[in-house]
A and B are shown apart, each in its own frame.
Chain A
Amino acid sequence: MGPLSSYYVFPEWLDLLVAFLIGTGFGFALEQAGFSSSRRLAGMFYGYDTTVIKVFFTAAIVALVGSQLLNYFGLLNLNQVYVNEFYTGAAIIGGVIMGAGFIMGGFCPGTGLSALSIGKIDAMVFAAGGLLGAFLFAETYPSIQNLANGGYKGAVKINESLGISPGLFTLLLIAAAGLMFWIAELAEKRYARPDITNEI
């Protein structure tokens, strides 16, 4: 029964090896999906390329469905799976900053590293910018601490806040995803940029 780390204490080297293998797999998946191209990523904002939402959302739904099925068959105890804690203010402001950075730079942190690994110069500058941002955050933390830790809601799950079962939430999310993908396809036709998309 998973998660395995709840039942066994793994040595540090094994934890790092597993992280390395998962990271390699994730980077490989991003690269082969074409996410090393900043044009493709920026296309999500401009509408001419909606691959990002399709790939990430499909991955999230497959993980959601898979983990719930594993929970049902007693192979995974979802109560033991870590859920990120939610800070309202930090999530909104951090999301806006991250979104602006995403559009300007054409990368997000994960895809930036993926592009860096194939030697892209813009990804190198983006990574340097990211490190600078982290440094500035650490240095200014005392003055932004209240904002960063404000609006603490705990490790909430959406279905719990809505008062519906996890399974019903999954179905609604899948339906929402289908609708979003359909709108995305329409957007791609509406905002097509053959000059950019041919170069990806």
Chain B
Amino acid sequence: MSTLKKYLFPLIIFLILMIAVLHRSFNNSGFRYDAPRLAGKSIQGANIITEEQLLVPGNKYLIVNLDSLNTPGEEFYNCITLKVNPDSVLHKKYFKQIQRYRGSVILSSSENSKAARIWMLLSQKGLKQILILSRDKDIEVLKKEFRPDTTSVPEFI
């Protein structure tokens, strides 16, 4: 007891710091720690799923359709579909449904940009099971051919 009294001041300083550190650890504006680690899956395309992979029997997915409520989405026989407006994806009702789903959650949209943005946002909130549905087998591959023209040269050369 007397030792505790003697070292009361250091303990108080330590407790204040510990509270500050715990507050900082659990309150990253609602995002989880280490952004690069959470974004890691996007580097090699491990967060992409194609329609063919979706139809493989045995898995049951939750498809989150991000297109407008008037646009009919595709239905897959082995998936539950949830229509969510992108700006409502953080609403408690939808977010909890996505968070608690036991299995992979697929983001589907006619615009890859929308799905990609929502994927990054949800991944940074710590949701690990989110994938993006891609209609193309190969993503980030340029399918256009460039025909060089060596006859004209830029003026500054």
User: What residues of chain A have their CB less than 8 Å away from a CB belonging to chain B?
Assistant: 69, 72-74
Contact = CB atoms under 8 A, between A and B. Distances in A.
A82 to B, nearest CB: 24
Interface stretch (B17-25, B98-106, B112-120, B139-147): B17-25
A72 to B, nearest CB: 7
Nearest to B21: A72
Contacts of B21: 72
Nearest to A69: B17
6 contacts: A69-B17, A72-B21, A72-B24, A73-B20, A73-B24, A74-B24
Interface string B17-49: 100110010000000000000000000000000
A75 to B, nearest CB: 11
Nearest to A65: B17
Q: How large is the interface on B (under 10, 10 to 19, 20 to 34, 35 or more residues)?
A: under 10
Contacts of A73: 20, 24
A73 B21 CA distance: 8
B68 to A, nearest CB: 38
Q: Which 6 A-B pairs have the closest CB atoms?
A: A73-B24, A72-B24, A72-B21, A73-B20, A69-B17, A74-B24
Nearest to B23: A73
A160 to B, nearest CB: 17
A69 B24 CA distance: 11
A174 to B, nearest CB: 13
Nearest to B28: A74
A131 to B, nearest CB: 44
B16 to A, nearest CB: 12
A119 B24 CA distance: 50
Nearest to B17: A69
A170 to B, nearest CB: 13
Contacts of B24: 72-74
A171 to B, nearest CB: 14
Contacts of A74: 24
A74 B23 CA distance: 13
Contacts of A72: 21, 24
A59 to B, nearest CB: 18
